[in-house]
């Protein structure tokens, strides 16, 4: 008989060869089934992701699809080991490896869930995805730091390291660091407040004190604006929250007011035509809505009519274009109707002095 021939009932580390073969078969079968299940989950998610509407199982499938191969290998090996007789110390080591793998995989799942939630919020919002890129980037960074900090602490605890002292030391050190970099932390918390409260977004036109510009980027510490004259304006996030800002990007329409001065010599019947003329001119424009036109006051040298209308656009360029078209139409309409514009005049009355005498 060949001495190198291994029999099925031979013992290797207190387990027969047949039990080792069974354990290997169970591990390989478990790995193949889990890998196949992950592939099916990923295909289902890709099919759902192609539709515009977010389906009920889309986010859970996206999270499950982020399962790593290393985690599946660890799970499969542990399942195969359950069919063997192993010493208690080896079993405890295997349990610790399994718990560490679960902690890291849970961190990956939690990160994927948070990113999926943020992506679904952007997808369902009326604004474009680029308008939320800055704020959602800040939130995603903070969420990742929080998740992986917990994962690292759990990993160290499973390795037998006393994290109580570590956490206490980090707390004391964190206080010292926080006092040293309180301005940076203030800007960081301000960026989180901007991301959650959304007072403005990328692309909005802001007026902050004497600064005016369009938001280009919302960072962790500062927000960058591009001014109307071309230069970049960098403002700290904490200063932004303390300031009173005007957000022109949230306008759905712009209110416009202008006055027209008519000469006092204009006949009464032509004065009565002025409100109707101005209304017809405004209503003829493509993106305007007429509000009112009234004789406002009797000026020093003119009869003043005030007109109010709305431009159905938030862009300043559209408002200026509409005002230009309206002004040109007013000139033509007044010339055709024989209505004269007033200009500053002054009438001086001279009286001959009365002579006094006998």
Report the DSSP pairing between strands 205-208 and 11-12.
unpaired
**Given a cut of 60, is residue 1 above it in pLDDT?**
no
The b-or-e profile of 206-223 (16+ CB within 10 A means b, else e) is: bebeeebbbbeebebbbb
Amino acid 13: pLDDT: 65
Decide if pLDDT at 319 tops 50: yes
What's the confidence (pLDDT) of residue 4?
Answer: 44
Containing 268, the helix (H) or strand (E) segment is: helix 268-271
Query: Among 54-63, 125-134, 239-248, 283-292, which stretch is predicted with the lowest mean pLDDT?
Result: 125-134
Return mean pLDDT, the chain. 82
- Choose between 164 and 250: higher pLDDT: 250
Residue-wise pLDDT tens digits, 98-143: 899 999 999 999 988 888 877 765 544 444 444 455 556 667 777 8
Give mean pLDDT, residues 286-308: 92
Tell me which range, 170-174, 331-335, 340-344, is most confidently predicted by mean pLDDT: 331-335
- pLDDT, position 277: 94
What pLDDT is stored for residue 197 in this prediction? 79
More confident residue, 5 or 282: 282
Domains and their CATH numbers in the chain: 11-124 (no CATH), 127-137+160-250 (2.30.30.60), 254-337 (3.30.70.100)
pLDDT(330) > 90: yes
pLDDT tens by residue, 37-87: 999 988 888 888 777 776 677 788 888 888 899 999 999 998 988 888 878
Report the candidate in 30, 13, 41, 17 with the shortest Cα–Cα distance to residue 109.
Answer: 41
Tell me the per-residue pLDDT of 201-214, one tens digit each, with 9 for 90 and over.
888 888 888 888 89
- Higher pLDDT residue, 294 or 91? 294
CA-based R_g, the chain, Å: 38
Averaged pLDDT, 283-301: 91
| pLDDT value at residue 176 | 61
The neighbouring-strand residues paired with 139 are: none
- Cβ 194 vs Cβ 240: under 8 Å: yes
Q: How confident is the model at residue 16 (pLDDT cuts 50, 70, 90)?
A: confident
% of the chain at pLDDT higher than 70 = 83
Q: What is the mean pLDDT of residues 306-332?
A: 92
Top-ranked range on mean pLDDT: pick from 71-85, 266-280, 344-358? 266-280
Q: Where are the alpha helices (DSSP H) in 159-181?
A: 163-180
pLDDT of residue 7: 62
Report whether pLDDT(97) > 50. yes
- Whether the pLDDT of residue 230 is over 60: the answer is yes
- The DSSP line for 50-62 is TSSSPPTTHHHHH
């Amino acid at each position: 008989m060949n001495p190198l021939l291994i029999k099925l009932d031979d013992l290797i580390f207190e387990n027969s060869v047949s039990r080792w073969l069974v354990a290997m078969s169970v591990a390989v079968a478990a790995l193949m089934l889990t890998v196949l299940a992950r592939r099916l989950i990923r295909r289902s998610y890709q099919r759902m992701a192609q539709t515009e509407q977010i389906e009920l199982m889309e986010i859970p499938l996206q999270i499950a699809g982020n399962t790593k191969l290393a985690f599946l290998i660890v799970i499969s090996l542990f399942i195969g080991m359950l069919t063997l007789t192993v010493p208690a110390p080896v079993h405890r080591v295997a349990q610790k490896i399994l718990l560490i793998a679960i902690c890291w995989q849970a961190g990956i799942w939690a990160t994927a869930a948070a990113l999926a939630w943020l992506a679904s919020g952007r997808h369902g919002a009326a604004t474009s995805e680029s308008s939320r890129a800055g704020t959602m980037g800040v939130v995603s960074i903070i969420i990742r730091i929080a998740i992986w900090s917990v994962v690292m602490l759990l990993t160290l605890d499973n390795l037998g390291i006393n994290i109580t002292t570590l956490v206490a030391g980090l707390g004391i050190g964190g206080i010292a660091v926080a006092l040293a970099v309180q301005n940076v932390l203030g800007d960081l918390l301000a960026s989180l407040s901007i991301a959650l409260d959304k007072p403005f977004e990328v692309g909005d036109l802001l007026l902050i004190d004497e600064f005016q510009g369009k938001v280009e980027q919302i960072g962790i510490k500062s927000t960058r604006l591009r001014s109307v004259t071309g230069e970049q304006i960098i403002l700290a996030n904490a200063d932004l929250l303390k300031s009173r800002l005007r957000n022109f990007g949230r306008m759905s329409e712009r209110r416009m007011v202008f006055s027209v001065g008519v000469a006092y010599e204009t006949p009464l019947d032509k004065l009565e035509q002025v409100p109707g003329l101005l209304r017809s001119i405004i209503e003829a424009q493509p993106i305007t809505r007429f509000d009112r036109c009234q004789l406002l006051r009797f000026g020093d040298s003119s009869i003043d009519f005030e007109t109010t209308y709305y431009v159905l656009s938030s862009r300043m360029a559209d408002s200026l274009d509409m005002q230009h078209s309206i002004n040109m139409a007013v000139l033509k309409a007044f010339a055709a109707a024989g209505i004269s514009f007033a200009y500053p005049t002054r009438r001086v009355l001279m009286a001959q002095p009365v002579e006094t005498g006998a």
